[in-house]
Homo-oligomer: A and B are copies of this chain.
Amino acid sequence: MYQIRLDNPSADVRAQLHQRLQAWVEEREGRLVCPDEDSSLLYVDGIAPSALEELRIWDGIVDICSEQDASFRASNLMPAKVEVGAAAFGQGLVSCLAGPCAVEEYDSMLALARGLAAAGATGLRGGAFKPRTSPYGFQGLGLPGLEILSAVGKASGLAVVTEVLDVRDLDQVAAHAQILQVGSRNMQNTPLLKEVGRVGLPVLLKRGMSATLDEFLYAAEYVALGGAPSVLLCERGLRHFDSAVRNLLDLSAVPALKARTGMPVIVDPSHGTGVAQYVPSMMLAAAAAGADGFLVEVHANPKASWSDAEQALPLQVFSDTLPSVAKVLQACGRKFHGMQPSSKV
């Protein structure tokens, strides 16, 4: 018995595909189970696996596998607990990756990183290669930014997470980071997804701005197949019609992803709302919803900063919020996994 997973087209199209499969299977004297016009999973019996391979190139068929194989056969093997330096995500442990939108000067970055670590963060975020809507926007510091980030990570004891935009930068970025981020705009950049796992680092994969959960999990499957040792799924808000927020944070994605996969799920409330004022309550909500971690934009002083993320939390607010997050997690039977006092510099 083999499972055939269809794409999700309109009802009319699906019905046509069912008929066509029915005819194909009958001609080969096999049996197709579930000849219903709305089904996206069908089962076929009595056909040799080699003959089934022919179906794989049909448009509208996304997967064919034996019942033993899952559709997400590689990502199902990814670990449910991911430990990177002082950070740990999953199986009851919750960590926070924090930092500025874009990497800045060494001194201010180090001061910030020490503040973040003292507050309880275990990872440092910061973009050296920035994906920007306009080619005239600031594109990040590039390699010098990576070097600053790496040095600050070492000095502060924080694990470094930073985005890789281009397959050709992969080795360079990997040399300076402990976690590689694939951004929303690249969630379906399949050449990047296929290759990012090659360097052996955990991958933080952000959900596309209008991706379904299935599309998100298939993107993770690409990363897992490419050899990544682990994947962190990151919900970061969806395209929205109401300008009261910049994006619409989908917290139901936390339980809905956990119902489908074992990979840790983390939440970015900064891009997820675009409004610093709402970030603390969304961190608390994400903690209560079951998230395994956070990716948060924090700045020593957002108003006076170099590259000001308006959605960035002031360091002081971040420091004030983490104890509340820890309390909510405790109320939910999980644990905030913050820096130990000894490593707080």
**Chain A interfacial positions (CB closer than 8 Å to B):** 5, 7-13, 16-17, 20, 34-41, 56-65, 71, 101-102, 131-138, 165-168, 185-186, 188-192, 194, 209-210, 212-215, 218, 221-222, 225, 238-246, 248-252, 254-256, 259, 272-278, 281-282, 284-290, 303, 306-311, 324, 327-328, 330-332
Given contacts A56-B137, A136-B56, A282-B251, contact A241 B210 (CB under 8 A): yes
A188 to B281, CA, bound (A): 29
**Copies of this polypeptide in the complex:** 4
Query: In the complex, which residue of chain B has the Cβ closest to the Cβ of A58?
Result: B308
Q: In the complex the two chains form, is B11's CB within 8 Å of A243's CB?
A: yes
Contacts of A251 in B (CB 8 A): 249, 251, 282, 285
Sorted nearest first, the 4 A-B pairs with minimum C-beta distance are A36-B36, A185-B188, A210-B210, A288-B288
Q: In the complex the two chains form, is B252's CB within 8 Å of A256's CB?
A: no
Query: In the complex, which residue of chain B has the Cβ closest to the Cβ of A238?
Result: B248
A76 to B214, CA, bound (A): 37
Identify which of B13, B165, B275 contacts A13 (C-beta below 8 A).
B275
A309 to B64, CA, bound (A): 18
A102 to B60, CA, bound (A): 12
Q: How far is the CB of A15 from chain B (nearest CB, A)?
A: 10
Q: In the complex the two chains form, is A62's CB within 8 Å of B132's CB?
A: yes
Contacts of A5 in B (CB 8 A): 134
Q: How far is the CB of A31 from chain B (nearest CB, A)?
A: 14
Contacts of A137 in B (CB 8 A): 56, 61-63
Given contacts A36-B38, A138-B56, A331-B331, contact A255 B278 (CB under 8 A): yes
The interface centre, meaning the residue of A57, A222, A286 with most chain B CB atoms within 10 A of its CB, is A57
Query: In the complex, which residue of chain B has the Cβ closest to the Cβ of A286?
Result: B285
Identify which of B13, B131, B278 contacts A252 (C-beta below 8 A).
B278
A303 to B284, CA, bound (A): 33
A41 to B252, CA, bound (A): 28
Q: In the complex the two chains form, is B308's CB within 8 Å of A60's CB?
A: yes
A127 to B285, CA, bound (A): 29
Q: In the complex the two chains form, is B57's CB within 8 Å of A138's CB?
A: yes
Q: How far is the CB of A105 from chain B (nearest CB, A)?
A: 12
Contacts of A284 in B (CB 8 A): 288-289, 332
Q: In the complex the two chains form, is A13's CB within 8 Å of B310's CB?
A: yes
Q: In the complex the two chains form, is B246's CB within 8 Å of A13's CB?
A: yes
A307 to B254, CA, bound (A): 29
Q: In the complex the two chains form, is B214's CB within 8 Å of A57's CB?
A: no
A230 to B274, CA, bound (A): 31
Query: In the complex, which residue of chain B has the Cβ closest to the Cβ of A61?
Result: B137
